[in-house]
Copies of this chain bind each other. A is one copy, B any other.
Amino acid sequence: MLVEFSIVPIGRAESMGDELARVLRLVDESGLPYRAGPMGTVVEGRWDEVMALVRRCHEEVLATSPRAITTIKIDDRPSKPMDRIEEKIRSVERRLGRELRK
């Protein structure tokens, strides 16, 4: 399944750069395929492995913040093979290319 998540530290400074760096490090170390974007990170994997990662990231942010709001969006389509993260990005680019040539 594809999972997009983002974690907002509350009760800290306006900038979240440090928390973001620590979260991205955990995501990268997980070994799961991912794509970090301007508003969240998309990870691909099974429920157990993705949720364990999101939990580690959530707890990492709570290590330095008194409160955190974590948003998770799961897109699960069991009949589809893995590697959907790259396939979806290619699909978006392909459609965009075709639409724009019209």
Chain A residues near B (Cβ < 8 Å): 2, 4, 8, 10-17, 20-22, 24-25, 28, 35-40, 42, 47, 51, 55, 58, 62, 66-79, 84-85, 88-89, 91-93, 95-96, 98-100, 102
Number of copies: 4
A85 to chain B, nearest CB (A): 5
A66 to chain B, nearest CB (A): 5
Prevailing SS type, chain A contact patch:
mixed
A48 to chain B, nearest CB (A): 9
- Which of B11, B85, B91, B95 has a CB less than 8 Å from the CB of A13? B11
- Which of B71, B72, B77 has a CB less than 8 Å from the CB of A14? B77
